[in-house]
Amino acid sequence: MELGLDGKIVLVTGGSKGIGLACARAFAAEGARVAICARGRDGIDAALAELPGAIGVAADLTDAQAAAAMLREVESQVGPIDVLVNSAGAARRSPPDELTPEFYRAAMDAKFFAYINVIDPLVKLMAERKSGVIINVIGAGGKIASVVHLAGGAANAALMLVTAGLGTAYAGQGVRVVGISPGLTETGRVAEGMLSDARLAGITPEEARARAIGRIPLGRMAAPEEIADTAVFLASARASYITGITLTMDGASSPVIL
């Protein structure tokens, strides 16, 4: 399928690993000019080794000024950003009796504000240019509460609301805002989360993984590339009438009417 992304400028936050890196690869394969952002320069350099022609900018996106500076640097190097894929940041998991107000606040910084600090300035630029797509990789924990992911789930739920609201607010100005909500995906981040699940249940991480997969009707976790394929489609003109929604990709783990 011709997606018309050749030459588009795509920024992927959290683009040095996991779903973000898979998205960067997928857009590059479509001929897009890719920029990635992550906290660590070493991770960026490792990712750029497999992304010929891409650029990378290191920034702590929980800092609004650093996020704005990162956007300016990307646009000064490659031009106006056509597509933003947010995949940076993740809240730590914790058993509920270890939660504190500070833990909730850290979760909002790590996930919600790491996205908002990039979305807010860029969606306004896109609106001025009358064109742009923002794709937020959010997480199923924003819809289905998990006792070991309450703080992060709250941040995800907030991002789902923002996705719907901004999709509505900017639709008339040529900007689409869409969410992808993956369930369990084969990433290092999910593997780390299994440790909290195992600790809470008093079982081994291997047993926790087997239990988790056993609850997925498709019988496996998603591959990062499957999430990336969806992001590429949603960014393309083939999805030009899709905005203000969050698409769940959880292998039918939560069979609910949307």
Domains within the chain, CATH numbers bracketed: 9-249 (3.40.50.720)
Tell me the torsion sign for CA atoms 122, 124, 130, 134: positive
Q: What is the pLDDT of residues 122-180, one digit of tens each?
A: 999 999 999 999 999 998 877 887 777 788 899 999 999 999 999 999 999 999 999 99
Long-range Cβ contacts of 38-46 (<8 Å, 24+ apart)? 38/13, 38/14, 38/88, 40/16, 43/16, 43/17, 44/15, 44/16, 46/16
Task: Locate 80 and state its tokens.
Answer: 């106006």
Task: Kindly report the pTM of this predicted structure.
Answer: 0.91
CB 151 within 8 A of CB 192: no
* Region of 14 on the Ramachandran plot (φ > 0 left; ψ -120 to 50 alpha; else beta): left
Condensed to tens digits (0 to 9), the pLDDT of residues 53-108 reads 999 999 999 999 999 999 999 999 999 999 999 999 777 777 788 889 999 999 99
Is residue 36 within a helix (H) or strand (E), and if so which, with residue range? strand 33-38
- Using DSSP's 3-state secondary structure scheme, residue 85 falls into strand
